[in-house]
Structure 1
Amino acid sequence: MAFEVGATVRLYSGTREGRPYQTGSALQIAPRRWVTASHAVSAEAAIKLKLGDAWSQARVIHRDEELDFALLVADKDWPWQARISMNFPDSGSPVKVTGWVIEDPHGNGPDRAFRVVQDYICQGSDEESLLVLKGAAPSIGFSGAAVTDVRTGKVVGIILGFRVSRRADGSPAEIDEAHARSLSCIPGEYW
Protein backbone atom coordinates (compact mmCIF):
# COMPACT_ATOMS: atom_id res chain seq x y z
CA MET A 1 0.00 0.00 0.00
CA ALA A 2 1.38 3.44 -0.92
CA PHE A 3 1.37 6.06 1.78
CA GLU A 4 0.97 9.75 1.06
CA VAL A 5 4.64 10.61 0.78
CA GLY A 6 4.36 12.78 -2.34
CA ALA A 7 1.64 14.97 -0.83
CA THR A 8 3.90 15.94 2.12
CA VAL A 9 6.50 18.67 1.59
CA ARG A 10 9.01 20.71 3.57
CA LEU A 11 7.65 23.92 5.10
CA TYR A 12 9.80 27.04 5.48
CA SER A 13 8.65 30.01 7.50
CA GLY A 14 11.37 32.54 8.12
CA THR A 15 15.10 32.75 7.56
CA ARG A 16 18.32 32.13 9.45
CA GLU A 17 21.45 33.95 8.31
CA GLY A 18 19.65 35.02 5.13
CA ARG A 19 18.57 31.49 4.15
CA PRO A 20 15.07 30.01 4.26
CA TYR A 21 14.65 27.95 7.43
CA GLN A 22 12.60 24.74 7.61
CA THR A 23 10.04 24.84 10.42
CA GLY A 24 7.91 21.79 9.67
CA SER A 25 6.07 19.70 7.10
CA ALA A 26 2.88 20.47 5.16
CA LEU A 27 0.25 18.29 3.51
CA GLN A 28 -1.63 19.10 0.29
CA ILE A 29 -5.36 18.50 0.87
CA ALA A 30 -6.81 20.11 -2.28
CA PRO A 31 -5.39 21.89 -5.32
CA ARG A 32 -3.06 24.64 -4.00
CA ARG A 33 -4.41 24.04 -0.43
CA TRP A 34 -2.09 22.87 2.33
CA VAL A 35 -2.45 22.17 6.04
CA THR A 36 0.27 22.31 8.70
CA ALA A 37 0.66 22.91 12.42
CA SER A 38 -0.02 26.55 13.27
CA HIS A 39 3.03 26.75 15.53
CA ALA A 40 5.24 25.91 12.50
CA VAL A 41 4.16 29.05 10.61
CA SER A 42 5.33 32.51 11.61
CA ALA A 43 2.76 35.27 11.18
CA GLU A 44 5.42 37.70 9.96
CA ALA A 45 7.67 35.53 7.80
CA ALA A 46 7.45 34.55 4.16
CA ILE A 47 6.23 30.97 3.72
CA LYS A 48 7.70 28.57 1.17
CA LEU A 49 7.02 24.93 0.35
CA LYS A 50 9.73 22.66 -1.04
CA LEU A 51 9.78 19.20 -2.59
CA GLY A 52 13.09 18.17 -4.15
CA ASP A 53 14.36 21.27 -5.95
CA ALA A 54 10.89 22.74 -6.60
CA TRP A 55 9.72 25.73 -4.52
CA SER A 56 6.32 27.37 -4.12
CA GLN A 57 5.36 30.53 -2.25
CA ALA A 58 2.42 30.19 0.15
CA ARG A 59 0.37 32.32 2.52
CA VAL A 60 -1.91 31.60 5.47
CA ILE A 61 -5.62 31.73 4.61
CA HIS A 62 -6.93 30.37 7.92
CA ARG A 63 -5.32 29.84 11.31
CA ASP A 64 -6.72 28.23 14.43
CA GLU A 65 -4.30 28.76 17.31
CA GLU A 66 -6.44 26.81 19.78
CA LEU A 67 -6.50 23.68 17.61
CA ASP A 68 -2.94 24.39 16.32
CA PHE A 69 -3.49 24.12 12.59
CA ALA A 70 -3.02 26.54 9.70
CA LEU A 71 -4.31 26.38 6.14
CA LEU A 72 -2.13 27.71 3.36
CA VAL A 73 -2.68 28.54 -0.29
CA ALA A 74 0.30 28.03 -2.61
CA ASP A 75 1.09 29.96 -5.77
CA LYS A 76 1.23 26.75 -7.83
CA ASP A 77 -0.13 23.23 -7.87
CA TRP A 78 1.83 20.09 -7.07
CA PRO A 79 1.09 16.86 -8.90
CA TRP A 80 0.18 15.01 -5.70
CA GLN A 81 -2.73 15.34 -3.37
CA ALA A 82 -3.49 13.28 -0.29
CA ARG A 83 -6.42 10.90 -0.12
CA ILE A 84 -8.34 12.16 2.92
CA SER A 85 -10.57 10.54 5.51
CA MET A 86 -12.53 12.36 8.20
CA ASN A 87 -12.87 9.17 10.27
CA PHE A 88 -10.66 8.41 13.25
CA PRO A 89 -8.80 5.13 13.17
CA ASP A 90 -9.98 2.72 15.86
CA SER A 91 -8.04 2.60 19.12
CA GLY A 92 -5.19 0.11 18.66
CA SER A 93 -5.02 0.70 14.89
CA PRO A 94 -1.61 1.22 13.26
CA VAL A 95 -0.90 4.54 11.55
CA LYS A 96 2.13 5.80 9.63
CA VAL A 97 3.36 9.37 9.92
CA THR A 98 5.20 10.84 6.92
CA GLY A 99 7.12 14.08 7.19
CA TRP A 100 10.45 15.81 6.81
CA VAL A 101 12.94 15.91 9.67
CA ILE A 102 15.66 18.53 9.82
CA GLU A 103 19.26 17.31 9.77
CA ASP A 104 20.54 20.41 11.61
CA PRO A 105 17.72 21.91 13.74
CA HIS A 106 19.93 24.86 14.72
CA GLY A 107 20.29 26.03 11.12
CA ASN A 108 24.10 26.03 11.17
CA GLY A 109 24.74 23.52 8.42
CA PRO A 110 23.48 23.04 4.87
CA ASP A 111 19.75 22.87 4.20
CA ARG A 112 19.21 19.11 4.40
CA ALA A 113 16.21 17.16 5.55
CA PHE A 114 15.11 13.57 5.29
CA ARG A 115 11.71 12.16 4.50
CA VAL A 116 10.81 9.88 7.39
CA VAL A 117 7.94 7.44 7.84
CA GLN A 118 7.35 6.45 11.48
CA ASP A 119 4.98 3.81 12.84
CA TYR A 120 2.53 4.69 15.62
CA ILE A 121 -0.49 3.08 17.26
CA CYS A 122 -3.68 5.13 17.63
CA GLN A 123 -4.65 5.35 21.30
CA GLY A 124 -7.96 7.13 20.64
CA SER A 125 -8.80 10.78 21.09
CA ASP A 126 -8.53 13.22 24.00
CA GLU A 127 -11.04 15.64 22.55
CA GLU A 128 -13.20 15.96 19.48
CA SER A 129 -10.40 16.32 16.90
CA LEU A 130 -7.19 15.38 18.76
CA LEU A 131 -5.70 11.95 18.03
CA VAL A 132 -3.36 10.43 20.61
CA LEU A 133 -0.62 8.22 19.14
CA LYS A 134 1.81 5.85 20.86
CA GLY A 135 5.28 5.64 19.36
CA ALA A 136 8.61 7.39 18.97
CA ALA A 137 9.00 11.10 19.67
CA PRO A 138 8.42 13.19 16.55
CA SER A 139 11.67 14.76 15.33
CA ILE A 140 12.18 18.47 14.69
CA GLY A 141 10.52 19.31 11.38
CA PHE A 142 7.76 16.71 11.84
CA SER A 143 5.08 19.23 12.88
CA GLY A 144 2.46 19.14 10.12
CA ALA A 145 3.47 15.62 8.96
CA ALA A 146 0.72 13.42 7.48
CA VAL A 147 -0.90 10.75 9.69
CA THR A 148 -2.11 7.88 7.48
CA ASP A 149 -4.46 5.10 8.59
CA VAL A 150 -2.67 1.89 7.55
CA ARG A 151 -5.96 0.01 6.98
CA THR A 152 -7.39 2.52 4.49
CA GLY A 153 -4.26 4.24 3.14
CA LYS A 154 -5.99 7.60 3.74
CA VAL A 155 -4.63 10.59 5.65
CA VAL A 156 -6.59 11.27 8.84
CA GLY A 157 -4.58 14.09 10.42
CA ILE A 158 -1.33 15.98 10.95
CA ILE A 159 1.25 15.72 13.73
CA LEU A 160 1.25 18.60 16.23
CA GLY A 161 3.81 17.55 18.82
CA PHE A 162 4.33 15.26 21.76
CA ARG A 163 3.86 14.98 25.51
CA VAL A 164 6.69 14.19 27.89
CA SER A 165 5.87 12.20 31.02
CA ARG A 166 7.39 13.51 34.26
CA ARG A 167 9.17 11.83 37.17
CA ALA A 168 8.07 12.48 40.77
CA ASP A 169 10.65 15.30 41.00
CA GLY A 170 9.18 16.98 37.89
CA SER A 171 12.09 16.16 35.57
CA PRO A 172 11.32 14.75 32.10
CA ALA A 173 11.15 10.96 32.00
CA GLU A 174 10.24 9.90 28.46
CA ILE A 175 8.11 10.77 25.50
CA ASP A 176 4.87 9.04 26.17
CA GLU A 177 2.58 10.07 23.33
CA ALA A 178 2.37 12.10 20.14
CA HIS A 179 -0.61 14.30 19.31
CA ALA A 180 -2.20 14.73 15.91
CA ARG A 181 -5.05 16.96 14.75
CA SER A 182 -7.82 15.31 12.74
CA LEU A 183 -8.51 16.83 9.32
CA SER A 184 -12.21 16.89 10.26
CA CYS A 185 -11.62 20.22 12.05
CA ILE A 186 -10.86 22.06 8.77
CA PRO A 187 -13.78 24.33 7.83
CA GLY A 188 -15.63 23.12 4.74
CA GLU A 189 -15.06 26.27 2.68
CA TYR A 190 -11.31 25.51 2.51
CA TRP A 191 -11.59 22.16 0.74
Structure 2
Amino acid sequence: MAEAAEVAAVALRAGVPLAAAALVAARSPGVVAAAPWLRTRLEAALARGDGVAGVLTAPSVDGPPRACEDLRLLARAWSLSEETGAAAAHTTAAAAASLRARSAARDLRDATLAGPRASMRVLTALPLVGPAVGLALGLSPAVLYATPAARLSAGVGALLTLSGWAWARRVVGAAGRPGRTDGSA
Protein backbone atom coordinates (compact mmCIF):
# COMPACT_ATOMS: atom_id res chain seq x y z
CA MET A 1 0.00 0.00 0.00
CA ALA A 2 2.99 2.28 0.45
CA GLU A 3 3.54 1.88 -3.27
CA ALA A 4 0.00 3.09 -3.92
CA ALA A 5 0.61 6.16 -1.79
CA GLU A 6 3.93 6.87 -3.49
CA VAL A 7 2.49 6.50 -7.00
CA ALA A 8 -0.46 8.71 -6.06
CA ALA A 9 1.88 11.32 -4.53
CA VAL A 10 3.91 11.50 -7.76
CA ALA A 11 0.73 11.92 -9.80
CA LEU A 12 -0.58 14.57 -7.40
CA ARG A 13 2.70 16.51 -7.59
CA ALA A 14 2.30 16.46 -11.37
CA GLY A 15 -1.08 18.17 -10.99
CA VAL A 16 -3.36 15.17 -11.49
CA PRO A 17 -6.62 15.41 -9.49
CA LEU A 18 -6.92 13.13 -6.45
CA ALA A 19 -9.47 10.76 -8.01
CA ALA A 20 -7.33 10.22 -11.12
CA ALA A 21 -4.18 9.84 -9.00
CA ALA A 22 -5.92 7.19 -6.91
CA LEU A 23 -6.89 5.28 -10.06
CA VAL A 24 -3.34 5.49 -11.40
CA ALA A 25 -2.06 4.12 -8.10
CA ALA A 26 -4.67 1.34 -8.07
CA ARG A 27 -3.44 0.21 -11.49
CA SER A 28 0.23 -0.08 -10.48
CA PRO A 29 1.53 -3.68 -10.43
CA GLY A 30 2.34 -3.80 -6.72
CA VAL A 31 -1.09 -2.54 -5.77
CA VAL A 32 -2.83 -4.92 -8.18
CA ALA A 33 -0.94 -7.79 -6.52
CA ALA A 34 -1.76 -6.66 -2.96
CA ALA A 35 -5.30 -5.36 -3.50
CA PRO A 36 -6.76 -6.48 -6.86
CA TRP A 37 -10.23 -5.37 -5.73
CA LEU A 38 -9.19 -1.75 -5.20
CA ARG A 39 -9.36 -0.56 -8.81
CA THR A 40 -12.89 -1.83 -9.44
CA ARG A 41 -14.14 -0.33 -6.15
CA LEU A 42 -12.53 3.02 -6.95
CA GLU A 43 -13.97 3.08 -10.47
CA ALA A 44 -17.46 2.21 -9.22
CA ALA A 45 -17.34 4.83 -6.45
CA LEU A 46 -16.08 7.56 -8.76
CA ALA A 47 -18.78 6.70 -11.29
CA ARG A 48 -21.35 7.26 -8.49
CA GLY A 49 -19.65 10.53 -7.54
CA ASP A 50 -18.38 9.32 -4.16
CA GLY A 51 -15.15 10.59 -2.66
CA VAL A 52 -11.95 8.62 -2.93
CA ALA A 53 -11.31 8.46 0.82
CA GLY A 54 -14.70 6.85 1.50
CA VAL A 55 -13.88 3.96 -0.82
CA LEU A 56 -10.71 3.18 1.11
CA THR A 57 -12.34 3.24 4.53
CA ALA A 58 -15.25 0.99 3.61
CA PRO A 59 -14.71 -2.56 4.86
CA SER A 60 -13.59 -4.99 2.21
CA VAL A 61 -14.37 -8.67 2.30
CA ASP A 62 -11.71 -9.35 -0.34
CA GLY A 63 -8.81 -7.48 1.19
CA PRO A 64 -6.33 -8.85 3.69
CA PRO A 65 -6.48 -7.09 7.08
CA ARG A 66 -3.01 -5.52 6.79
CA ALA A 67 -3.77 -4.05 3.34
CA CYS A 68 -7.12 -2.69 4.57
CA GLU A 69 -5.44 -1.14 7.62
CA ASP A 70 -2.86 0.53 5.38
CA LEU A 71 -5.59 1.76 3.04
CA ARG A 72 -7.40 3.34 5.99
CA LEU A 73 -4.25 5.33 6.80
CA LEU A 74 -4.07 6.52 3.21
CA ALA A 75 -7.79 7.36 3.33
CA ARG A 76 -7.25 9.48 6.44
CA ALA A 77 -4.52 11.40 4.62
CA TRP A 78 -6.83 12.01 1.68
CA SER A 79 -9.72 12.96 3.99
CA LEU A 80 -7.44 15.49 5.64
CA SER A 81 -6.72 16.98 2.22
CA GLU A 82 -10.39 17.00 1.23
CA GLU A 83 -11.59 18.52 4.52
CA THR A 84 -8.84 21.07 5.22
CA GLY A 85 -7.54 21.89 1.78
CA ALA A 86 -4.06 20.62 2.65
CA ALA A 87 -2.00 19.69 -0.37
CA ALA A 88 -2.91 16.12 -1.21
CA ALA A 89 0.60 15.47 -2.54
CA HIS A 90 2.09 16.28 0.86
CA THR A 91 -0.38 14.28 2.93
CA THR A 92 -0.07 11.36 0.53
CA ALA A 93 3.74 11.44 0.66
CA ALA A 94 3.58 11.56 4.47
CA ALA A 95 1.21 8.58 4.45
CA ALA A 96 3.61 6.68 2.16
CA ALA A 97 6.51 7.37 4.52
CA SER A 98 4.39 6.26 7.47
CA LEU A 99 3.38 3.06 5.67
CA ARG A 100 7.01 2.27 4.81
CA ALA A 101 8.06 2.88 8.43
CA ARG A 102 5.19 0.73 9.72
CA SER A 103 6.16 -2.09 7.35
CA ALA A 104 9.82 -1.86 8.39
CA ALA A 105 8.81 -1.99 12.07
CA ARG A 106 6.66 -5.09 11.44
CA ASP A 107 9.50 -6.77 9.57
CA LEU A 108 11.95 -5.96 12.37
CA ARG A 109 9.52 -7.29 14.98
CA ASP A 110 8.98 -10.50 13.03
CA ALA A 111 12.74 -11.00 12.56
CA THR A 112 13.41 -10.29 16.23
CA LEU A 113 10.80 -12.79 17.40
CA ALA A 114 11.82 -15.52 14.92
CA GLY A 115 14.62 -16.79 17.20
CA PRO A 116 12.51 -17.11 20.36
CA ARG A 117 9.71 -18.77 18.39
CA ALA A 118 12.13 -21.31 16.89
CA SER A 119 13.63 -22.01 20.33
CA MET A 120 10.14 -22.51 21.71
CA ARG A 121 9.38 -25.11 19.04
CA VAL A 122 12.68 -26.95 19.53
CA LEU A 123 12.38 -27.05 23.31
CA THR A 124 8.80 -28.27 23.01
CA ALA A 125 9.86 -31.06 20.64
CA LEU A 126 12.87 -32.22 22.68
CA PRO A 127 10.91 -34.37 25.15
CA LEU A 128 9.55 -36.34 22.21
CA VAL A 129 13.08 -37.19 21.14
CA GLY A 130 13.73 -39.39 24.22
CA PRO A 131 11.22 -42.10 23.35
CA ALA A 132 12.29 -41.91 19.69
CA VAL A 133 15.93 -42.49 20.68
CA GLY A 134 14.78 -45.36 22.90
CA LEU A 135 12.96 -46.92 19.94
CA ALA A 136 16.05 -46.46 17.77
CA LEU A 137 18.09 -48.32 20.39
CA GLY A 138 15.54 -51.11 20.49
CA LEU A 139 13.76 -50.14 23.71
CA SER A 140 10.02 -49.96 23.59
CA PRO A 141 8.18 -47.24 25.53
CA ALA A 142 6.87 -50.00 27.82
CA VAL A 143 10.45 -50.82 28.81
CA LEU A 144 11.49 -47.16 29.07
CA TYR A 145 8.60 -46.31 31.37
CA ALA A 146 8.39 -49.62 33.27
CA THR A 147 9.17 -48.17 36.71
CA PRO A 148 6.93 -45.79 38.66
CA ALA A 149 9.80 -43.27 38.87
CA ALA A 150 10.14 -43.24 35.07
CA ARG A 151 6.40 -42.73 34.60
CA LEU A 152 6.38 -39.97 37.24
CA SER A 153 9.35 -38.30 35.52
CA ALA A 154 7.60 -38.52 32.14
CA GLY A 155 4.40 -37.04 33.56
CA VAL A 156 6.19 -34.21 35.35
CA GLY A 157 8.26 -33.59 32.21
CA ALA A 158 5.15 -33.41 30.05
CA LEU A 159 3.49 -31.04 32.53
CA LEU A 160 6.58 -28.81 32.69
CA THR A 161 6.88 -28.85 28.89
CA LEU A 162 3.25 -27.74 28.47
CA SER A 163 3.52 -25.03 31.12
CA GLY A 164 6.85 -23.83 29.69
CA TRP A 165 5.36 -23.70 26.21
CA ALA A 166 2.36 -21.71 27.47
CA TRP A 167 4.59 -19.32 29.40
CA ALA A 168 6.96 -18.81 26.45
CA ARG A 169 4.03 -18.24 24.12
CA ARG A 170 2.68 -15.57 26.47
CA VAL A 171 6.08 -13.86 26.74
CA VAL A 172 6.68 -13.91 22.97
CA GLY A 173 3.13 -12.69 22.36
CA ALA A 174 3.60 -9.80 24.79
CA ALA A 175 6.91 -8.90 23.17
CA GLY A 176 5.23 -8.81 19.76
CA ARG A 177 2.47 -6.42 20.78
CA PRO A 178 3.10 -2.70 20.39
CA GLY A 179 3.80 -0.76 23.55
CA ARG A 180 1.62 1.96 24.94
CA THR A 181 2.37 5.52 23.96
CA ASP A 182 -0.07 7.34 26.21
CA GLY A 183 2.28 7.42 29.20
CA SER A 184 0.41 4.84 31.29
CA ALA A 185 1.95 1.54 32.30
Q: TM-score, normalization: structure 2?
A: 0.22
Flag the structure with higher strand content: 1
TM-score (structure 1 length as normaliser) = 0.22
Relative to its length, the structure with more helix (as a share) is 2
